[in-house]
């Protein structure tokens, strides 16, 4: 039982947007036991859509389509799907009712013809209610194969997948169980890690697949297995991880299923009734943004001072001018003072501080581009580290944020 | 002349990562005049890779492949490409030299066999030097069609595209000119906008394509054209935009090619020698992070206070406790005071403040989830607005950040 995802839209093929829908859909399908064979992105072009549908029908049993359902003339997915199924479009009164409700509640303007036409669906299709927008989902079945068309707006697609598509798929088919367990490591390269765990890798049973995912100083190790007996799969993955752990103890961070590193930290802080704040210079609010993107962050994250201009390190954070003059703004001493001040200012158990030069210019400091000092303040004292993250701005910022979180995580685990 | 992109990796098909490489490659190809016909993501599976290569060779003249070039056993792209070209792998000494240089400079450990094997390339391929990593790019030509294989690590792929692949493609082929101009609008829905500009849309010449891209309260209008005569294309797009502008004056924000809204703001501030700071509650540092993700932000962005816990609004930002008690932490009065205090604290021309409830819980306030107050402080005074952004946390944060930047942009344009 395999699925194919077709994403439709010129904006994908010209690189104007990144297709995030496919990742969401793939993950959701995996969770109910459906493997995705292929993801295909095609233009808003009748012939191309027809060709992609025909190829997907050959390869897969479940074909999920997103995009091209807007009310404007450039969107042709619906009529092309009707053509593919040799079908005509008819008005669905329940869909029209939903559109009226949205317009009355949010838009507060009269419906115009193109809005009303959003209620047209192929006569062979079951309309799936899109409570967040005017384009309905469409569910079509031919020779036992399921085709689902959904709008490309991520928020509308996600609700349709969760509330309509996944429950219907589970009802129609019996799926195997798929498990992915991803182990997060840091501080070791991909090839060194592979060499270290080679004997373990070679003894893995055939049905357990291993993958290495390196990124910005971290390597994720993914174990995947699939089968009809959930208990067997779960047990095998667990045993293999138990065998692996003693070999990677020094580089182990956590499991990806338990969340990102900031979520792991958040969970630990909340369990200990502890709090955190940040004082960010070169990371510019990135670490604060990472913490606060997760629900419940207010339970442990108290705030941040982003001191981008040097003067604000004095005025807002309360560092001494002499200290900055003596050691320069990008220095271990300044990072240390920032972390200490932030911890006191926000009255927290921990504080992270970053100061460095993300480039491309040298800015206020004489430090080489890529130099970053990270300090972690605890009630016991401050630990400061110096790093050189290369010359690529986005990478420097992201590496610094990741590294700061890793250092904090280690510090919390020590307690 | 068309291209196809093939991205290889199980991590894409299980939704563990979002494929951002395709968008970068598509954009880069468009800029030199190459249209992308299709993007296909396939598994780390020999048969599937061979099938995708054969289909791409039928559809396209340029086939760009990323992923599956790591040193570990799960990566099989290189040997599968060699098989597709009926070729064998031979060692490229220049590539090995590059790997040695990287290991000596950064890794500081001896090379192991899997690192040395990264220097193996198909004998028919030209190796493209990857200065940032051990996996080389590979350039192969068959019957006038070009195949390029690149590593999947975005940073390595981007440098290879820019420094090696694009110059070689331009040398080998003569491409037409492609222009995309995207007009940013806000405050009008997709269908209302389409109705308003219908007459203009209907008179567009056939070779100018129009697309509507709605997202989070903004609609982007994209005009695209392609042809051998650059002057004709540019002139036609310019004329059409001149015709359009009077009809959308009240909802126009800017042109996407000029950058994101925070870049437009940054440019205007820098030109006026003005500065900005933020005081963020519900946006949690997101606005600061948006500003500081761009090079040169230090010329106009002075800093931010993220006051996630209510007490920090008093202690760090200096709001009065009475004010917060009287009006509650999510209120127009508190937003206004935050913006005023931030402007004074950071000594800037403008300050943005946000306070609201992003959900999922009500947190420190009685305000409904989705309620956000945004204040823009200038030297003349403070403007405060109330919004209701729904109940989806990520959307509330992003909509609030976007809206704050729109309001600031309008304010700056007034001067």
User: Which residue is associated with the tokens 């989806």?
Assistant: B392
B237: Cβ contacts below 8 Å, ≥ 6 apart: B179, B181, B208, B223, B225
**Model confidence band, residue B367 (pLDDT cutoffs 50, 70, 90):** confident
Tell me which residues of chain B, numbers 155 to 214, contact chain A at a CB-CB cutoff of 8 Å.
155, 180, 182, 189-192, 194-195, 201, 209-214
Rounded-to-integer distance, Cα B221 and Cα B181, Å: 8
pLDDT of residue B364: 63
B58: Cβ contacts below 8 Å, ≥ 6 apart: none
For residue range B317-355, list pLDDT tens digits in order: 999 999 999 999 999 999 999 999 999 999 999 999 999
pLDDT at B378 over 80: yes
User: Which residue is associated with the tokens 């009008």?
Assistant: B188
Is residue B71 less than 8 Å (CB to CB) from chain A? Answer: yes
Taking the alpha carbons of A279, A282, A284, A289 in that order, is the dihedral positive or negative? negative
Spell out the alpha helix ranges (H) of A198-331: 198-202, 230-248, 261-271, 286-292, 310-315, 321-327
B64, B50, B82: which is closest to B19 by C-alpha?
B64
Strand pairing category for A252-255 and A177-186: antiparallel
Q: Which residues on chain B are in Cβ contact (under 8 Å) with A180?
A: 14, 16
Per-residue pLDDT of chain A (415 residues; tens, 9 = 90+): 899 999 999 999 999 999 999 999 999 999 999 999 999 999 999 999 999 999 999 999 999 999 999 998 889 999 999 999 999 999 999 999 999 999 998 888 889 999 999 999 999 999 999 998 999 999 999 999 999 999 999 989 999 999 999 999 999 999 999 999 999 998 788 889 999 999 999 999 999 999 998 876 789 999 999 999 999 999 999 999 999 999 999 888 888 877 888 999 999 999 999 999 999 999 999 999 999 999 999 999 999 999 999 999 999 999 999 999 999 999 999 999 999 999 999 999 999 999 999 888 776 667 889 999 999 999 999 999 999 988 888 889 999 999 999 899 989 887 6
Whether the CB-CB separation of B256 and B184 falls below 8 Å is answered with yes
pLDDT of residue A254: 86
Rounded-to-integer distance, Cα B393 and Cα B388, Å: 12
Is residue A25 less than 8 Å (CB to CB) from chain B? Answer: yes
Average pLDDT of the residues of chain B: 94
pLDDT of residue B415: 63
In three-state secondary structure terms, B218 is: strand
For residue range A264-322, list pLDDT tens digits in order: 999 999 999 999 999 999 999 999 999 999 999 999 999 999 999 999 999 999 999 99
Is residue A42 less than 8 Å (CB to CB) from chain B? Answer: yes
Of B214, B303, B361, the CB nearest to A306: B303
Q: Which residues pair with B307 in a beta bridge?
A: A303
Rounded-to-integer distance, Cα B80 and Cα A390, Å: 33
The 8 Å CB, 24+ separation contacts for B146-150 are: B146/B61, B146/B62, B146/B63, B146/B172, B147/B53, B147/B57, B147/B63, B147/B65, B147/B81, B148/B62, B148/B63, B148/B64, B148/B65, B149/B65, B149/B66, B149/B69, B149/B77, B149/B78, B149/B81, B150/B64, B150/B65, B150/B66, B150/B69
Q: Which residues pair with B137 in a beta bridge?
A: B128
Q: For B22, which residue in chain A has the nearest alpha carbon?
A: A15
Q: How far away is chain A from the Cα of B361, in angstroms, using its nearest Cα?
A: 8
Rounded-to-integer distance, Cα B356 and Cα B373, Å: 6
- pLDDT (average), residues B360-383: 88
pLDDT of residue A221: 95
| A175 Ramachandran zone, left/alpha/beta (phi>0; psi -120 to 50) | beta
Is residue B222 less than 8 Å (CB to CB) from chain A? Answer: yes
The percentage of chain B sitting over the pLDDT mark of 90, rounded to a whole number, equals: 83
ipTM of the complex: 0.84
Taking the alpha carbons of B291, B295, B298, B299 in that order, is the dihedral positive or negative? negative
Whether the CB-CB separation of A224 and A256 falls below 8 Å is answered with no
Q: For A278, which residue in chain B has the nearest alpha carbon?
A: B306
Is residue A401 less than 8 Å (CB to CB) from chain B? Answer: no
What's the distance, Cα to Cα, between the start and end of chain B in Å?
47
- pLDDT (average), residues B159-165: 97
Q: Which residues on chain A are in Cβ contact (under 8 Å) with B286?
A: 285, 289, 292-293
User: Which residue is associated with the tokens 């790591």?
Assistant: B70
Q: Do B361 and A201 touch (CB under 8 A)?
A: no
Is residue B393 less than 8 Å (CB to CB) from chain A? Answer: yes
In three-state secondary structure terms, A384 is: strand
CB–CB contacts below 8 A, A to B:
331
Rounded-to-integer distance, Cα A130 and Cα A164, Å: 9
DSSP B84-122: HTT--EEE-HHHHHHHHHHIIIII-S---HHHHHTTEEE
The 8 Å CB, 24+ separation contacts for B370-374 are: B370/B396, B371/B330, B372/B282, B372/B330, B372/B396, B372/B399, B372/B400, B372/B403, B373/B330, B373/B331, B373/B332, B373/B334, B373/B335, B374/B335, B374/B400, B374/B403, B374/B404, B374/B407
pLDDT of residue B175: 95
Instruction: Say how many C-beta atoms besides its own lie within 10 A of residue A291's C-beta.
Output: 28
Three-class secondary structure assignment of A20-49: CHHHHHHHHHHHCCCEEEEEEEECCCHHHH
pLDDT of residue A288: 97
pLDDT at B303 over 90: yes
Of B17, B277, B309, the CB nearest to A298: B309
> Which stretch of DSSP H or E encloses residue A93?
helix A93-102
What's the distance, Cα to Cα, between the start and end of chain A in Å?
48
Tell me which residues of chain A, numbers 229 to 268, contact chain B at a CB-CB cutoff of 8 Å.
none
Backbone angles phi, psi at A212, to 5 degrees: -105, 125
For residue range B173-187, list pLDDT tens digits in order: 999 999 999 999 987
Strand pairing category for B350-356 and A350-356: unpaired
Which of A298, A364, A367 should we substitute to test contact with B (largest number of B Cβ atoms within 10 Å)?
A298
Taking the alpha carbons of B271, B273, B279, B284 in that order, is the dihedral positive or negative? positive
Residue A360 preceded by cis peptide, ω within 30: yes
Q: For A181, which residue in chain B has the nearest alpha carbon?
A: B16
Whether the CB-CB separation of B393 and A295 falls below 8 Å is answered with yes
For residue range B53-86, list pLDDT tens digits in order: 999 999 999 999 999 999 988 899 999 999 999 9
Is residue A10 less than 8 Å (CB to CB) from chain B? Answer: yes
Taking the alpha carbons of A32, A36, A41, A47 in that order, is the dihedral positive or negative? negative
Between vectors from CA A72 to CA A70 and to CA A74, what angle results, nearest 5°? Answer: 95
Tell me how far CA of residue A105 lies from CA of A131, B177, B356, in angstroms: 12, 45, 22
pLDDT of residue B214: 85
Is residue B1 less than 8 Å (CB to CB) from chain A? Answer: no
Paired tokens of A136: 């309905």
Rounded-to-integer distance, Cα B354 and Cα B384, Å: 10
For residue range B187-246, list pLDDT tens digits in order: 788 889 999 999 999 999 999 999 998 876 789 999 999 999 999 999 999 999 999 999
Tell me how far CA of residue A9 lies from CA of A42, B288, B302, B319, in angstroms: 6, 32, 39, 48
Instruction: Say how many C-beta atoms besides its own lie within 10 A of residue B219's C-beta.
Output: 23
pLDDT of residue B107: 80
DSSP A319-378: --HHHHHHH-SSSHHHHHHHHHHHHHHHT-SEEEEEEE--SSS-TTS-SPTTEEEEEEE-
A320, A317, A300: which is closest to A308 by C-alpha?
A317
Is residue A50 less than 8 Å (CB to CB) from chain B? Answer: no
Q: Do B309 and A302 touch (CB under 8 A)?
A: yes
Strand pairing category for B89-91 and B350-356: unpaired
In three-state secondary structure terms, A395 is: helix
Paired tokens of B119: 């220097």
Whether the CB-CB separation of B212 and B205 falls below 8 Å is answered with no
In three-state secondary structure terms, B353 is: strand
pLDDT of residue A363: 64
Is residue A349 less than 8 Å (CB to CB) from chain B? Answer: no
Of A72, A210, A315, the CB nearest to B345: A315
Q: Do B70 and A153 touch (CB under 8 A)?
A: no
Distance of CA B251 to the CA centre of its chain: 23
């Amino acid at each position: 039982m395999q699925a194919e995802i077709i994403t439709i839209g010129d904006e994908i093929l010209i690189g104007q947007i990144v297709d995030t829908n496919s990742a969401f859909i793939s993950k959701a399908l995996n969770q109910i036991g459906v493997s995705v064979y292929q993801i295909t992105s095609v233009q808003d072009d009748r012939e191309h859509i027809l060709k992609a549908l025909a190829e997907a029908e050959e390869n897969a049993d479940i074909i999920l389509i997103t995009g091209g359902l807007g009310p404007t003339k450039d969107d042709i997915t619906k009529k092309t799907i009707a053509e593919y199924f040799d079908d005509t479009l008819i008005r669905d009164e329940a869909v029209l009712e939903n559109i009226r409700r949205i317009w009355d509640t949010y838009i507060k303007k009269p419906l115009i013809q193109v809005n009303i036409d959003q209620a047209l669906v192929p006569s062979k299709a079951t309309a799936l209610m899109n409570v967040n927008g005017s384009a309905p989902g469409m569910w079509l079945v031919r020779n036992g194969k399921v085709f689902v068309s959904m709008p490309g707006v991520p928020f509308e697609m996600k609700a349709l997948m969760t509330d309509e598509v996944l429950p219907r798929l589970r009802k129609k088919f019996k799926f195997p169980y798929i498990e992915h367990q991803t182990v997060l490591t840091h501080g070791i390269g991909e090839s060194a890690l592979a060499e270290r765990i080679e004997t373990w890798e070679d003894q893995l049973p055939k049905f357990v697949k291993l993958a290495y995912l390196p990124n910005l100083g971290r390597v994720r190790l993914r174990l995947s297995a699939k089968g009809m007996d959930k208990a067997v799969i779960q047990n095998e993955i667990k045993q293999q991880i138990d065998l692996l752990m003693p070999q990677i103890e020094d580089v182990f961070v956590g499991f990806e299923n338990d969340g990102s590193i900031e979520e792991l930290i958040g969970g630990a802080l909340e369990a200990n009734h502890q709090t955190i704040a940040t004082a960010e210079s070169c990371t510019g609010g990135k670490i604060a943004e990472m913490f606060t993107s997760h629900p419940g962050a207010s339970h442990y994250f108290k705030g941040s001072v982003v001191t981008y201009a040097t003067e604000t390190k004095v005025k807002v954070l309360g560092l001494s001018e002499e200290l900055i003059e003596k050691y320069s703004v990008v220095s271990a001493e300044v990072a240390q003072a920032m972390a200490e001040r932030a911890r006191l200012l926000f009255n927290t158990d921990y504080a992270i501080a970053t100061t460095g030069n993300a480039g491309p210019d040298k800015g206020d400091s004489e430090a080489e581009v890529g130099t970053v000092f990270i300090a972690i303040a605890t009630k016991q004292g401050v630990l400061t580290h110096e790093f050189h993250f290369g010359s690529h701005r986005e990478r420097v910022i992201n590496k610094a944020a990741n590294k700061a979180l890793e250092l904090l995580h280690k510090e919390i685990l020590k307690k």
